[in-house]
Chain A
Amino acid sequence: MKIAHTTFSWWGGVQMGPPDPILGVTEAFKRDTNPKKMNLGVGAYRDDQGKPFVLSCVRKAEAIITSKQLDKEYLPIGGLGEFSKACAELALGADSEVLKSGRNITVQTISGTGSLRIGANFLSRFHGGPLDVYLPKPSWGNHTPIFRDAGMQLKAYRYYDPSTCGFDFKGALDDISKIPEQSVIMLHACAHNPTGVDPRPEQWKEISDIVKKRNLLVFFDMAYQGFASGDIDRDAWAVRYFIEQGHNIVLSQSFAKNMGLYGERVGGFTVVCNDAEEAKRVESQLKILIRPIYSNPPMNGARIAATILNTPDLRSIWLGEVHGMANRIIKMREQLVAGLKKEGSSHNWQHVIDQIGMFCFTGLKPEQVERLTKEFSVYMTKDGRISMAGVTSGNVGYLAQGIHAVTK
């Protein structure tokens, strides 16, 4: 028996959601038919031919894994043990006192987003201080809705100085010194997204001091370890320094970019605790949070990452490939600035070289971005951020042309 359709629907009041500001850029790019189009939106690395790059250490790891003929049984809620251990070591350093005393808990997560979300859920439920997260201004666009959906409030501290296209150190210290005690402060460990502007070590030291004075809980987001300088230890310096200074941080890591494992969703979430006993209690609660979201994490990517990190040969290859990716980006920065000079641009583009990591905060205003997209089919986010990874020696000249045209 079939019931006639009524015109009533449960979903009549559901509005059309806006396209995602970052991922929506790729969707728009795909629709464009201009052969010269450039996708400088999402931070996914491309080689000098503009193609996705599958690291050779990844392919080798996959071959090893295939030959082992493993089963597909559920992972524990906290993920693959050998992955979590290697993940923590990568961030903290193998000789870290934290690891030796077992006072960290590190769980495998659904890449960086999943890690941030678990972290936000954990803080929302257990943080004794104000449920206010202070983000640098600006920050990755998805930080805000993640923390909001987890039930926290978003605030900001000054970070980017548009007049210098650099770090507003004084403004940051000023704002941080006024943050109410025991609030949560989000710090980008390296290769700040979207600006590419990182504090220098001396500046990190002062930030650590003031954060300590204010008794703030530090939430590090490290999505680009290896990508900033090309050196994984150098890129983890701030994280390790803060821990040495006594901050019991929480940390999100992603292997999307530095291992090119984007769609496999590989990440980790770490809580540095007072001692191993506290770590055990925290672990038990993280499991309670994870189970009703997705039960347990996916195996494939974690298995690849663990194999690479734990096999000396592969780890070696990986370090070289990360270095290579970072170097290509640095080269593109130099070529872009040279190209702009060649076009006759009178602006100061030094920040393009000074900024670090995958992204460049060009300084372009929204109207200029719109023109760049409409007239040149160069796709980027409205805030003027471009992913240098999408620039190649083949298209850097065209990009310089376009940027010059909209800024002269």
Chain B
Amino acid sequence: IVPLAVSVNRFEVPQAAPVAVFKLSQDFSNDQFPQKVNLGVGAYRTDEGQPWVLPVVKKVEKIIVHDDRLNHEYLPILGLPEFRSSASKIALGDDSPAIQEDRVGAVQCLGGTGALKMGAEFLRRFYNGNNNTKTPVYVSAPTWENHNAVFANAGFDDVRPYKYWDAENRGLDLAGFLGDLESCPEHSIFVLHACAHNPTGTDPTQEQWMQIADIMMRRKLFVFFDSAYQGFASGSLEKDAWAVRYFVSMGFEMFCAQSFSKNFGLYNERVGNLTIVAQDADNLKRILSQMEKIVRTTWSNPPSQGARIVAITLNSPELFSEWKDNVKTMADRVLLMRAQLKAKLQALGTPGTWDHITEQIGMFSFTGLNSKQVEYMVKEKHIYLMASGRINMCGLTTKNIDYVAESIHETVTMVQ
């Protein structure tokens, strides 16, 4: 075989840096240290440190496998109808006036990422003019690292941070946040975390959300919620959806990207939903018709298995109840680990304040460890966490929590 001469320089393809969170998992995998702990990637773990397929999911999968009426035919472009509507109801509430007014629609997408992607592509094409790639997109500082790439790849030239995390006080920088809302260009797009902020675990209070909403309404800013942890944060679906529902009640035209990866444990089935709240049914119709075109050139139609599992569960009162219990099981374990970690650090007399461990909510905690301390944790203690100091509370178990607490204590005292 004689390879074509042109192919030698055909692709100028440099080696890309690996995605940090996956590299962390890789390094953890390769580590032989017996007491190693993985506080990296965001997936739920049981107290045995194992992945957990929700009992209700197992049950529903059996139902699907035994239902001879089901096949593997294409879903419609926008996805499984009963999934889309029940998923939107989860976010907005069964009795949502917006739903009753026929102005809520949805696009089934590949996970939360896919929902953000579809929303971003639509906004780039149709928001604030046509193909206005200059519209600023604001993401929180810090935020889930993929937010930047999703919007940049959708064509937005100007993805910027809005103030969010106050490192000094380990809490929300409300003044900074509100200041950015006041000073940003009108019509800017804001990506808001519906609950259980990733990576800080710090959410605005209800009063603070009301202040945020006021400014956004007055300054005509676009509301794009990222809801990846509904139910997982507090254990209550309603409580975790408060901000989204409040904004809907304010009358915003908005998007909400939902993920069912965590609250259904369906990570690898890629189950997501972009809920669209429009001003009226006519707007909604036109929006959905354009969404179809965007879907068609990206993946044509979404995968059916995960959506079926969620739809069957949400549409059966018994299964829905069982699901809520499963969600509460996960949320409760996280809350327990938070309480225990804080208690142990306080008992050890670890320098600093550790209230933020229990004040923060959801899967993640921004420990406040600096990058040198993180490096020490990884290299010396074989405890793997993100360079930002973010830990996944699900990585903690009753068996490793003492080791982790002691390691944090040692790190904080040895490394400044």
| Chain A residues proximal to chain B, CB less than 8 Å | 1-5, 9-17, 20, 23, 27, 42, 44, 52, 54, 58, 62-63, 66, 69, 71-77, 97, 110-114, 117, 126-129, 142, 145-146, 148-149, 181-182, 212, 215, 217, 244-248, 256, 260-265, 273-274, 278, 280-282, 284-285, 287-289, 291-301
With contacts A244-B1, A292-B146 known, is A280 near B15, CB below 8 A? yes
Question: A187 to chain B: closest CB distance in Å?
Answer: 16
| Residue B412, interface by CB 8 Å | no
Q: Across the A-B interface, give the 5 residue pairs with the lowest CB-CB distance, nearest first.
A: A294-B110, A17-B289, A292-B149, A263-B304, A299-B268
With contacts A113-B299, A247-B4 known, is A128 near B12, CB below 8 A? yes
| Residue B369, interface by CB 8 Å | no
Docked pose: A146 CA to B296 CA in angstroms: 8
- Give me 24 A-to-B residue pairs in the complex whose CB atoms sit less than 8 angstroms apart, sorted by A's number: A3-B217, A9-B253, A9-B278, A13-B126, A15-B286, A17-B289, A54-B71, A69-B53, A72-B57, A97-B1, A110-B110, A113-B299, A128-B9, A142-B296, A244-B1, A245-B1, A248-B7, A291-B19, A291-B113, A291-B149, A293-B113, A293-B117, A295-B146, A295-B270
| Residue B111, interface by CB 8 Å | yes
With contacts A114-B298, A246-B3, A262-B74 known, is A16 near B289, CB below 8 A? yes
Question: B88 to chain A: closest CB distance in Å?
Answer: 18
Residues of chain A within 8 A (CB-CB) of B62 are 66
Query: Does B114 contact A294, Cβ atoms closer than 8 Å?
Result: yes
- Among residues of A, the one whose C-beta sits closest to the C-beta of B42 is A74
Docked pose: A54 CA to B68 CA in angstroms: 10
Query: Does B12 contact A126, Cβ atoms closer than 8 Å?
Result: yes
Residues of chain B within 8 A (CB-CB) of A3 are 217, 250-251
| Residue B77, interface by CB 8 Å | yes
Docked pose: A291 CA to B145 CA in angstroms: 11
With contacts A149-B297, A293-B153 known, is A274 near B8, CB below 8 A? yes
| Chain B residues proximal to chain A, CB less than 8 Å | 1-4, 6-19, 22, 41, 43, 50-53, 57, 61-62, 65, 71-77, 109-111, 113-114, 117, 126-128, 130, 146, 149-150, 152-154, 217, 222, 249-251, 253, 261, 265-270, 278-280, 283, 285-287, 289-290, 292-294, 296-306
Q: In terms of DSSP, what is the predominant structure of the interface of chain B?
A: loop
- Among residues of B, the one whose C-beta sits closest to the C-beta of A304 is B72
Residues of chain B within 8 A (CB-CB) of A14 are 126, 283, 286-287, 290
Query: Does A287 contact B16, Cβ atoms closer than 8 Å?
Result: yes
Question: B220 to chain A: closest CB distance in Å?
Answer: 9
Docked pose: A72 CA to B12 CA in angstroms: 36
With contacts A62-B65, A244-B1 known, is A262 near B72, CB below 8 A? yes
Residues of chain B within 8 A (CB-CB) of A11 are 126, 253, 278-279, 283, 286-287
Docked pose: A148 CA to B296 CA in angstroms: 12
With contacts A9-B283, A264-B305, A291-B149 known, is A66 near B65, CB below 8 A? yes
Query: Does A265 contact B299, Cβ atoms closer than 8 Å?
Result: yes
Question: A243 to chain B: closest CB distance in Å?
Answer: 8
Query: Does A292 contact B15, Cβ atoms closer than 8 Å?
Result: no
Query: Does B15 contact A281, Cβ atoms closer than 8 Å?
Result: yes
Query: Does B290 contact A282, Cβ atoms closer than 8 Å?
Result: no
Query: Does B269 contact A2, Cβ atoms closer than 8 Å?
Result: no
With contacts A2-B250, A97-B1, A145-B296 known, is A298 near B270, CB below 8 A? yes
Question: A28 to chain B: closest CB distance in Å?
Answer: 13
Greatest chain A CB density within 10 A among B15, B293, B299 is at: B299
Residues of chain B within 8 A (CB-CB) of A127 are 10-11
Docked pose: A283 CA to B86 CA in angstroms: 38
Residues of chain A within 8 A (CB-CB) of B222 are 10
Residues of chain A within 8 A (CB-CB) of B154 are 292
Query: Does A264 contact B304, Cβ atoms closer than 8 Å?
Result: yes
With contacts A15-B286, A66-B65 known, is A299 near B146, CB below 8 A? no
Question: B382 to chain A: closest CB distance in Å?
Answer: 21
Query: Does A281 contact B13, Cβ atoms closer than 8 Å?
Result: yes
Docked pose: A126 CA to B296 CA in angstroms: 24
Docked pose: A210 CA to B117 CA in angstroms: 40
Query: Does A66 contact B61, Cβ atoms closer than 8 Å?
Result: yes
Partner of A298, one of B146, B289, B303: B303
